[in-house]
Structure 1
Amino acid sequence: MDADMLRLQHDSHRRLNILTGEWVLVSPHRTSRPWQGQTEAKAEAVAPAYDPGCYLCPGNMRANGERNPTYEDVFAFTNDFAALLPESPQEEIDNNGLLVARGEPGVCRVICFSPRHDLTLSRMSVADIEKVVDLWRAEFARLDADPLVGAVQIFENRGAMMGASNPHPHCQIWATHSEPDELAKESARQRGYYAGRGGCLLCDYLSLELEQDARIVCANDGFVALVPFWATWPFETMVLPRRHLVALDEFSAEDSRALANILKRVTACYDNLFSTPFPYSMGFHQRPSDGGAHPHWHFHGHFYPPLLRSASIRKFMVGFELLGSPQRDITPESAAERLREALPR
C-alpha cells in the first residue's frame, strides 16, 4: 500500500458535509485515549403510564389554565409558551449595518405522540407511530398554506440531557416567517447541485451509500437510515426516503407506514446501544413554505444524539469545535457497525 494513501479508519482527516458545505475533523486514532471527563447520571427508564402532575397527559390542566381533552391517540395544540408569536411585527432595525434586527412572527405547535406518559417512539407500535406521521403531514399542510409561514420545522428533544422539559412523548413544530439558517444552507447546496448536475444531491448520495453499504444502519422498502459520511455527533444518523420526496405533503399512506417503521427501528436501536433511554434531538428538513416547487429538495430526517462512550459519557462541543470546526473520534463507519449490532432482533 502507498504510504501516502489516506486511510479513513486510521488517519486524521476532514470530511465535507455536502448538505451545508462545512467540514468535520475526524481523528480515529484518539479512540484509545483514557476518558477522565464529566459523566452524566444514567437516564431513568421507569415512568408511570399516567402522571397527574404532567401538563401533557390526557385530562390534565396545563400551565396556562387550559385543560387537555381525554385524547386517546395523538393530540396537537398551540404551544402555551411559544417562542414565536403570530402578531410579532415584521419591521426591521438597521443601524449602519452593524446593529440589525428583524421581527420574526410565527406559530409554535406541540404534538403529543400518545396518551401514555411512559412511552417513547422506540416502545410504541408502528401503527401508533404512523398516526404521529399522519398528524405531522396534516400540521405541515395547514401551516404550509399560511401566508405568514416561510418554513416548517418539526423536531423532538428526547431526554433531560437534550433539554426536554417534560418526559411525556411529544415533539414541537416551529413555523417561522423566514428560512432558518440550517435550512437555508441545505437549500443552497441542493439548489447548486441541481443546477450544476441536473439531479438531486441526496438521491445521488443515497445511491452511493447503498452501493458501498458501509454506513447503512437499517432500511425498508421506503426509507433508509444511515450514519452520514460527514456525521458530527458520535452516533448521528440520517433518515432518507428511497424515492424523491420534497416534503410531507407528497407522502402516500405507504410512505407514512415506512417512515413509522424506520423511526421505531432507529430509536429502538439507540435504546439498545447503551441499554438506556437514549437522548437525542431529531427533526425533519423539507422544502421551504414559500409557494415554490423546489425540485432540488429531498425530504430527510436528522438524529443528533449526544452520548459518546456509554449511557453516562457524552460528547461536548467545546474548544477547537467552538473556535475551529467540529471534531469526532469514532468514525461514521464504526458507529454504523455498532448501531447495526444494536438493532432489535
Structure 2
Amino acid sequence: MQFIASEHPHKRYNPLKGEWILVSPQRMKRPWDGQTETVYCDMGPEFDPTNPLCPGVVRSSGEQTPFYTSTYVFKNDFPAMLENTPEPPLSNDPLFRIEGVQGTCRVMCFHPKSNVTISLMNIDEIKCVIDCWVEQLKDLGKQYTWVQIFENKGTMMGCSNHHPHCQIWSCSFLPNEPHIKDINQKNYFVKYGRPMLMDYVERELKAKERIVYENSNWVVLVPFWAIWPYETMVLPKRWIKRMNEITDDEKTDLALSMKVLTTKYDNLFKTSFPYSMGWHGAPTGSNWDGYDHWVFHGIYLPPLLRSATIKKFISGFELLAQCQRDLTPEQAAERLRLQSDVHYLHSDK
C-alpha cells in the first residue's frame, strides 16, 4: 500500500515540544463531517453600564475605569500572582517540592466599544494594540523572567467578559510551555547552528501546503504538528527574538495578519470564532542578551471542529495517552485559506 497522509493514520512530531501527535484522517471521510449550522451572534451594545471594562464604569475593586479612547491597561482586580508573597518553607523531600512565586497580572482593553473584535477593528486600531503590547513587554520584562500576553475569546474558551481585551501575566519563573520550547530550540540551535523556527518558516514557504496567509513580513500557517483542528501559528520572515524588536512596517503587517486570520476564522462557521491565543518570545528579566535560539511567534488555539457549536474535546485517549486529531493540518489550512478576507458581517457592504 502507498501511504497517503489524508487517508492513513500516522504520528507527527512537534520539535518545539519534543512530543508526538496521532493523526487519524480516516475518521473524516467527507470534507464537512457533521452539521454546519450558523449561530445567531448578537455582539451586544457598544456600551454596557454594567460591564467593568467599559469606559467610565466602576469595577468591583471600587476603581473607576477611565473614559479611554484607544487601549487601556490596568492591574487585574483578581490576580493569579502577587508582587510580594512570603516564601514557603523549604522541603528536602523530592516528592513534595514547593517554591514561592512573584508576579504581576494586568488586563488590557483593546477598544472602548464592547461590540467589536480584532476581526472587526481597522488596521490602525490593531496596530495600537500591538504598540501597547510592546510597551507592556518592555516595562514588565525589566523585572520578570516571563511576560505572557494572551487573549481568551468567547465563552467557550472561558472568557467571562464580553469586551475586546486580553491579559498580561508576568512571573518570576519560566512556565512549563516556554521552558520546554526553550530547551528544544536551544538543542536545535546547538546542533544545526540556526534557529529552529527560521528553518521551519523557510521550509513551509517552499511547501505551500499549510500556509493560510502571508505578506511581506509574516506567515500565518497551520503547523505540521497542530493539535487543535484549526490551530495556527504566526511567524516572522526575519529572525526576531521578542515583540519589542518589530519595526513599524512589521507592526502594520502583523496587524493585517491578525485581522485576516480572525476574519477567516469568523467566516468559516459564520460566527464570532472562539479561541485562546498568545505570544511566545525569548525570556526577559535580568538577561535580555543571548537566547539566539529563540524566534518570536504567535499561537492561536481555537476549539471549534465541525460547526459553530461543535468543539473538539481533549479527553479520553488524549488525556491518558497522546493527543490526536482527525482533520489533517493540510486540510485545515486549505479550508481557512479559501475563506474570504472580507468579514461575513461586512460582505453586503
**TMscore range, shorter length:** over 0.9
1:194 and 1:35 map into 2 onto residues whose CA distance is 41
Equivalent residue in structure 2 for 1:300, among 297, 304, 308: 297
Aligned residue for 1:100, secondary structure, equals: coil
d(CA) in 1 for partners of 2:216 and 2:87? Answer: 44
Residue 276 of structure 2 corresponds to: 281
State the match for 2:345 in structure 1.
none
Match of 1:19 in 2: 16
Measured after TM superposition, the shift of residue 94 of structure 1 is 2.2
Gap runs ≥5 in structure 2: 343-349
Find the counterpart in structure 1 of residue 230 from structure 2.
235
The equivalent residue for 1:144 is 141
Partner Cα distance (1:318, 1:93) in 2: 36
Given that 1:40 and 1:314 are in contact with CA atoms closer than 8 Å, whether structure 2 keeps it comes out as no
* Counterpart Cα distance in 1 of 2:338 and 2:330: 13
CA–CA separation in structure 2 for the residues paired with 1:20 and 1:92: 32
What TM-score does the superposition give when structure 2 sets the normalisation length?
Answer: 0.94
Instruction: Tell me the residue number matched to 2:248.
Output: 253
SS of the aligned residue for 1:60 comes to: coil
What is the distance in 2 between the residues matched to 1:127 and 1:41? 30
Q: Which residue of 2 aligns with 1:48?
A: 45
Change (3 A) 1:262 1:105: same
Question: Aligned partner of 2:78: which letter?
Answer: F
In structure 1, distance between residues paired with 2:6 and 2:230: 16
Quote the residue 1:32 is aligned against.
29
What percentage of residue pairs aligned between the two structures are identical?
45
Q: Find the aligned partners of 2:84 and 2:118 in 1 and give their Cα distance.
A: 34
Residue 226, structure 1, aligned to residue 221, structure 2: yes
Residue 249 of structure 1: CA displacement? 1.7
The amino acid of 1:166's aligned partner reads N
Q: Contact 1:74/1:132 (CA < 8 Å) preserved in 2?
A: yes
Give 1:163's match in structure 2, choosing from 140, 143, 158.
Answer: 158
Q: In 1, distance between residues paired with 2:87 and 2:145? A: 13
Q: Given the alignment of the two structures, is residue 268 of structure 1 paired with residue 298 of structure 2, yes or no? A: no
| Equivalent runs, 1:330-345 vs 2, <5 Å | 330-345=327-342
Counterpart residue type for residue 255 of structure 1: E
CA contact (8 A) 2:38 2:270 kept: no
Q: Is the 8 A contact 2:264 2:339 kept in 1?
A: yes
SS at match of 2:98: strand
Structure 1's unaligned 5+ residue stretches are none
The partner residue of 2:112 within 108, 111, 115 is 115
Shift, 1:44, TM fit: 3.0
Contact 1:40 1:313 in 2 (8 A): no
Aligned residues: 339
1:99 Cα deviation from its structure 2 partner: 1.1
Distance 1:264 1:126 in 2: 8
| Alignment RMSD (CA, Å) | 1.9
Deviation at 1:257, TM superposition (A): 1.1
The DSSP-based 3-state class of the residue aligned with 1:314 is coil
Q: Which moved more, 1:209-218 or 1:97-106?
A: 97-106
CA distance in 2, matches of 1:90, 1:338: 50
Report the equivalent of 2:61.
Answer: 64
Which whole-Å CA distance do the structure 1 matches of 2:153 and 2:223 have between them? 21
Which of 175, 183, 187 aligns to 2:182? It is 187
What is the TM-score normalised by the length of structure 1? 0.95
